[in-house]
Chain A
Amino acid sequence: MSCCAPGAELALDLEPSRRDLPSTDEIRLASRQLGNGLVQVELSVPGVHCAACIHAIESSLKKLTGVASARVNLSTRRLSVCWREGEPPPVMTVLDQLGYEAHLFDVDNEPGRDETLAELIRAVAVAGFAAGNIMLLSVSVWSGAEDATRDLFHWISALIAIPALAFAGRIYFRSAWNALSHGRMNMDVPIALGISLAYGMSLYETINHGEHAYFDASVSLLFFLLIGRTLDHVMRERARVAVRGLRRLAARGATVIRQDGSHDYVPLEEIEAGSMLLLAAGDRVPVDACVREGTSDVDCSLVSGESEPQRVAPGGMLRAGTMNLTGALTIEAVATAKDSFLAEMVRLMEAAEGGRARYRRIADRASALYSPVVHLTALLTFAGWMAATGDWHRAITIAIAVLIITCPCALGLAVPIVQVVAARKLFENGIMVKDGSAMERLAEIDTVVFDKTGTLTLGTPQLTNGDLIDRTALAIAAELAMYSHHPVARAIAQAGASAGPSPFRFTEIREVPGCGLEAKADGSVWRLGRAEWAFRCQDDDIPAPGAILSRDGLAVAKLICEDQIRPDAAKAISGLVSGGLSVEMLSGDHREAAYAIADRIGIANVRAGVLPGEKSDHIAAMAASDHKVLMVGDGLNDAPALVAAHVSMAPATAADVGRNAADFVFLRDSLSAVPMALSVSRRARRLILQNLVFAVAYNAVAVPIAILGFVTPLIAAIAMSLSSVMVIANALRLGGGMTVPAKDYGSVSGSQRFGTGLAA
C-alpha cells in the first residue's frame, strides 16, 4: 500500500478533502490563553451570510466536547471559539463538513477592538449632542430672545460647548499640535485655531452681554468635520479587515524529526538550519530547504510565477512559500525562517521605496496653500479695521468672523466624502481600496504592468472539457481526485462535485508522485494522472495538459485542465490601451508560456523569465524616467514591484505579502476590475477638484462679506451648512456607471453586501 518509504505513515492518512485544513498543531499555535482555563481561537469564515449560517455554525460547534462558546460576527465574518484547556476540538473539520471555508487568524498581532473608531464615534456622539442643543438655543436667540434671556441662553451654550470641545475637539488639537511641533501645516491647524478662537471670543461677548456669540458655529463645525473623519476611518478599516480575513499562506510551523527519531511540531521561528523536517502533501514549505528523501510535485506559482508544478527528487532545492502537492518529503532546512526566500522578499520590499512615500495627498497640498492664505486674510482684516476705526473689539470680532467663514468645513469634507463614496462604489464591485491617496495616485498613471500567472490568468487550472465527458466517468474521476492536492486533481474534484456520487468505493488508494492516483475498485485497477503512466501500453501519447482516467490501462476519459485567462482580460487590456495607457507584462515564467498568454489577450510588450529583483528594478527605472506605473501582480515575487510602483493592485488570491503591499485588492475573477478602479478613481479625482473649486468660489463670495463686517452668527451657520450640503451632494453623483460582473471568487460570497452598510 505504501508508495514511497518516508511517506508511508503520512500516506496512510490520505483522506478525501477538498481543502487543506490546518492541523490541530497549527490551531494550538494560533490560539490564545484567556486565563480561567479557557483557550480562544479566531477564525475567518468568509462564507457566512445569514441567520441560518450563524445558527448552523454555532450550534454544531457548541455540541463538540470541551467547547465553551462559539460566536460568529457577521460584519467582520469572523468566528471566535473558546474551549477548556486540553486538546483543541476539531473545529476546522466541523466547519468543512458544514461547507464553510475557514482560515486561522493570528490572535496576538490583532488588537481585539478598533480603539480609534470607538474614540471617533464617541466624539461624533458628544459633538452631535452639543451641536443640537446649542443650535436649539441659538435659533431662539436669532428669533428674538433679548437681554437676560439671551444672556442665559449664551451661558448655557457656553457650558455645553466647553466639554464638547474638550472631548470631541482634542482629536483636532492633538493633530494640529503634532503638525505645528514638526514645523508642518495641515488642515487641522486652521480648524483647531478657528474653533478655539470662536469659542474664546463668544465667551468674551457673553460676559459682556454681547449680541453675537458663535458657540453654535464652533461646535457644529466640529460635528461636520468629525463625521467626515469617521467615514474616512470606517472605509479604510473595513478594507483592511476584509483583506486580512482572506487566506494566509505562510506555514505557521513544521514537523521536525529529532535525532532520536521522535516527531515534534514546532513554530516557524524555532526551525534551525540543518533540522530535518517532514513535509506532508498539501503543506507549504516553511523555510528554504533541500530534499533528502521522497519525490513529489511542487507548486511554485506564487514564488516564481511558473504555472506548471515542478517535479522534485532528493537533492532538489525548495524555496519557502512553495507548496508540496503529491508526495510526502523529508527535507533538510538550509536557512532559518528569517533568512528564507520570504524574508528576502520583505527586505527587497523595504528597499524599494516607491512613489507613495513621496506622494502628498490632495487634501494636504490644498491645506498647505489654504491655511496661510486664511490666516493672512484674517490678520489683514484685523489690521485694516484697527487702522480704520481704532476699535479693537470690533476689529477682533470681524477677524474671527472671517476665520469662521473660511474655516475649511467644505474643504474638510470635500475630499473624504468623495473618497468614501468612491470606495463604496468600488466595494460594491468587489474591489477594496486601502486608503484615499491610492485613488488619487491611480488617477495619475500612464503605464500598467501586469504579472502573468494568477493575475492575467486565474492561477489555478480548470476542467475545460467537462461537457464532453460521460457523467459516470466524471464522478469516478472526481472521487479519486479528492485524495490529491495536485491542482489538476482539485480542478477535477471541483468539476465533478455536481456529477453525483461515484458508483463504487475505492480501496487501496495511493498517490504516485509525479504521476497520479491509483486505486482498486470493482476488481479493476483505476488510474488518474499523466497519460504515459495511466496507459499500460505507451503507444498513444496525448500531449494535452490535464489527466487521463484509465481502467486496467485502458482509457475511460480524457480530462483537459488548463489555467484559464481571467474573464474579460482581453477587453480590459484593449480598454486600457485605447485609453492611452501603455501596457506591459512582466513574468517569471518562461518565454513560450508568457507569449502564449500575451498573444491571446493582446499585450505586445512582454518580458519573460524576470527575477523578483529585476521586476522592482524595472519599475524603479520607469519611475525614474517620469512614468507613473500601476503594477498588478499576485505572487511573492511581485511584492517588491508592488511596493516600487506608483500604485498597485492584487487579486484576492494573491500571496499575503503581495496583498498587504497592494493598494487595491479585487475579489472577483474578472479583470475588468482594473479599468473599473481606474475609471472610478478618475471620476473621484474630477469630483474632488470640482469640490475644491466650489470651496474656493464659496470663499470668494463669503470672505468679502465677512471682511466688510456683515456676517452675523445666523449668516455663518447658513453659509457653513449650505456649503457642506453642496459638497456632499456633488460627491453623491459618483453613484452610477459601470460594474464588474458578479460571478465571483467563491470564498468571498458576501462581497456585494459588503459596501452597502457604509452609506448609513
Chain B
Amino acid sequence: MTNLVILIPVALFLGGMGLAAFLWALRSGQYQDMDGSAERILLDDDD
C-alpha cells in the first residue's frame, strides 16, 4: 500500500507535467505552422 501512495502521485505528476507542457506549446503557437517548423531546421540562423 505504501508504494502505491508514493507511485500513484508520482505517475499522475509526471503525466500532468506532460499535459502542461503540451498545453504550453499549444498556447505559445508552436502548432501554428507544423510544415514550416519542419522545414526551418534546414535554415542557418545567420540573420
Partner-B contacts on A (CB < 8 A): 50-51, 54-55, 59, 62, 72-76, 113, 118, 121-122, 125-126, 129, 132-133, 136, 148-149, 152, 156, 160, 753, 757
Q: Which of B8, B23, B36 contacts A54 (CB 8 A)?
A: B36
Q: Is the CB of A129 within 8 A of B47?
A: no
Given A121-B31, A125-B22, A156-B12; 20 other pairs, CB 8 A cutoff: A50-B39, A51-B42, A51-B43, A54-B36, A55-B43, A72-B36, A73-B32, A73-B33, A74-B39, A75-B32, A75-B35, A75-B36, A118-B26, A125-B23, A126-B19, A129-B15, A129-B18, A133-B11, A152-B4, A160-B12
Q: Which residues of B contact A126 (CB under 8 A)?
A: 19
User: Chain B binding site: helix, strand, loop or mixed by DSSP?
Assistant: helix
Q: Is the CB of B15 within 8 A of A59?
A: no
Q: Is the CB of B15 within 8 A of A132?
A: yes
Q: Which of A74, A122, A156, A160 contacts B36 (CB 8 A)?
A: A74
- Show 16 residue pairs from A and B whose CB-CB distance is below 8 angstroms, ordered by the A residue: A51-B43, A54-B43, A59-B47, A72-B36, A74-B35, A74-B39, A75-B34, A118-B26, A122-B23, A125-B19, A125-B23, A129-B19, A136-B11, A156-B8, A160-B12, A753-B35
Q: Which of B1-47 contact A (CB under 8 A)?
A: 1, 4, 8, 11-12, 15-16, 18-19, 22-23, 26, 31-36, 39-40, 42-43, 47
Give complex CA distance A76, B23 in Å.
Answer: 22
Give complex CA distance A657, B42 in Å.
Answer: 39
User: Chain A binding site: helix, strand, loop or mixed by DSSP?
Assistant: helix
Q: Is the CB of B39 within 8 A of A51?
A: yes
Q: Which residues of B contact A129 (CB under 8 A)?
A: 15-16, 18-19
Given contacts A133-B11, A156-B8, contact A73 B19 (CB under 8 A): no
Give complex CA distance A121, B24 in Å.
Answer: 12
- A-B CB proximity, top 7 nearest: A74-B36, A51-B39, A51-B42, A74-B35, A73-B33, A129-B19, A75-B35
CB distance from B30 to the nearest CB of A (A): 12
Give complex CA distance A121, B32 in Å.
Answer: 12
Minimal Cβ-Cβ distance residue in B for A50: B39
Minimal Cβ-Cβ distance residue in B for A114: B32
Q: Which residues of B contact A118 (CB under 8 A)?
A: 26
Q: Which residues of B contact A122 (CB under 8 A)?
A: 23, 26
Give complex CA distance A136, B16 in Å.
Answer: 15
Q: Which of A50, A121, A133, A753 contacts B15 (CB 8 A)?
A: A133
Give complex CA distance A136, B10 in Å.
Answer: 14
Give complex CA distance A74, B34 in Å.
Answer: 8
Give complex CA distance A149, B11 in Å.
Answer: 17
Minimal Cβ-Cβ distance residue in A for B37: A74
Q: Is the CB of A149 within 8 A of B26?
A: no
Give complex CA distance A74, B32 in Å.
Answer: 9
Minimal Cβ-Cβ distance residue in A for B22: A125
Q: Which residues of A contact B22 (CB under 8 A)?
A: 125
Q: Is the CB of A757 within 8 A of B34?
A: yes
Q: Is the CB of A133 within 8 A of B42?
A: no
Q: Is the CB of A149 within 8 A of B1?
A: yes
Give complex CA distance A121, B23 in Å.
Answer: 9
Q: Which residues of A contact B39 (CB under 8 A)?
A: 50-51, 54, 74
Give complex CA distance A156, B4 in Å.
Answer: 12
Give complex CA distance A74, B26 in Å.
Answer: 17
Give complex CA distance A28, B11 in Å.
Answer: 55
Q: Which of A149, A160, A757 contacts B35 (CB 8 A)?
A: A757
Minimal Cβ-Cβ distance residue in A for B46: A59
CB distance from B35 to the nearest CB of A (A): 4
CB distance from A191 to the nearest CB of B (A): 23
Q: Which residues of A contact B35 (CB under 8 A)?
A: 74-75, 753, 757
Give complex CA distance A73, B32 in Å.
Answer: 8
Q: Which residues of B contact A148 (CB under 8 A)?
A: 1
CB distance from A122 to the nearest CB of B (A): 6
Minimal Cβ-Cβ distance residue in A for B41: A51
CB distance from B47 to the nearest CB of A (A): 6
Give complex CA distance A329, B40 in Å.
Answer: 47
Q: Is the CB of B47 within 8 A of A62?
A: yes
Give complex CA distance A136, B12 in Å.
Answer: 11
Given contacts A125-B22, A126-B19, A133-B12, contact A76 B33 (CB under 8 A): yes
Q: Is the CB of A74 within 8 A of B33?
A: yes
Give complex CA distance A148, B4 in Å.
Answer: 12
Give complex CA distance A121, B1 in Å.
Answer: 36
Q: Which residues of A contact B40 (CB under 8 A)?
A: 51, 54
Q: Which residues of A contact B42 (CB under 8 A)?
A: 51
Give complex CA distance A113, B28 in Å.
Answer: 12
CB distance from B6 to the nearest CB of A (A): 13
Q: Which residues of B contact A133 (CB under 8 A)?
A: 11-12, 15
Give complex CA distance A55, B41 in Å.
Answer: 11
Q: Which residues of B contact A74 (CB under 8 A)?
A: 33, 35-36, 39
Q: Which residues of B contact A73 (CB under 8 A)?
A: 32-33, 36
Minimal Cβ-Cβ distance residue in A for B27: A118
Q: Which residues of A contact B32 (CB under 8 A)?
A: 73, 75, 113
Q: Which residues of B contact A757 (CB under 8 A)?
A: 34-35
CB distance from A148 to the nearest CB of B (A): 8
Query: Which residue among A74, A76, A121 has the maximum number of chain B CB atoms within 10 Å of its CB?
Result: A74
Q: Which residues of A contact B19 (CB under 8 A)?
A: 125-126, 129
Q: Which residues of B contact A76 (CB under 8 A)?
A: 33
